[in-house]
Amino acid sequence: MQISKRAGFDPTIIVGTKLKEFSNSNCRVGKSRYLVIEADEWQASFLNYWPKIIVLTNIEKEHLDYYKNLNNILKTYKEYIGRLPKDGVLVANGDDKNIQKIISNFRFPISDFRFSKSKDAQKLRKILKVPGEYNVSNALAALAVARVLKIPDKISFKALSEYKGSWRRFEIKKFK
């Protein structure tokens, strides 16, 4: 999000939590044709979208009240990935075993990012202002998308270094 904005894409952005960069809102209305959305697998709601780029950070046993088991979750993710157009791109976490199970049969570009053995991860740990390995992993995913969009790394790393974090995630609260 920060990267695309800094690179001049001016996207509309909708995420699942409030962001400090958006004045504590979960959305930002841009002026371009680009839309960045945090699509959620809850009740297969991401099947309402037809993206050109999909980022998969992880697939876990979640929302079992709806899916019942991991196989149903994987099947739904396959359906979602299958919505990519021929010129679409899948950006996938190469370290996630469940993602690796489902992507091998697809015939479009796959750009994977790996937390393990990543020089980019080492650099991101130094520049990110938000703590935690999940934030490093998410930044790796953002960097992978930026590279797909041919955004120079210099712009990407600068934007990622300025990210302030999201509501209710590693916030420091002071109480009187």
Nearest to 138, CA basis, from 28, 38, 5, 18: 38
Q: Over the stretch 68-122, which tens digit does the pLDDT of each residue have?
A: 999 999 999 999 999 999 999 999 999 999 999 999 888 878 888 887 667 898 8
pTM of the model: 0.87
Q: How far is C-alpha 175 from the chain's CA centre?
A: 33
- Collect all residues with Cβ–Cβ distance below 8 Å to 90 and sequence separation of at least 6: 53, 54, 56, 81, 84, 103, 106, 108, 109, 110, 111
The residues facing 19 across adjacent strands are 25, 166
Q: Report pLDDT for 21.
A: 78
Nearest to 24, CA basis, from 33, 12, 15: 15
Q: Residue 152's CB: how many other CB atoms inside 10 A?
A: 11
Pairing of the two strands 89-93 and 110-113: parallel
Q: Over the stretch 124-142, which tens digit does the pLDDT of each residue have?
A: 989 998 888 889 999 999 9
Q: How confident is the model at residue 2 (pLDDT cuts 50, 70, 90)?
A: confident
Helices (H), 55-106: 64-67, 70-81, 97-103
For residue 160, CA distances in Å to 8, 57, 70, 85, 109 come to 15, 17, 33, 28, 25
**Tokens standing for residue 35:** 């839309």
User: Residue with structure tokens 């809850």?
Assistant: 42
Q: How far is C-alpha 66 from the chain's CA centre?
A: 23
- For residue 93, the one-letter residue type is N
Instruction: Kindly state which CATH superfamily the domain 2-162 is placed in.
Output: Mur-like, catalytic domain (3.40.1190.10)
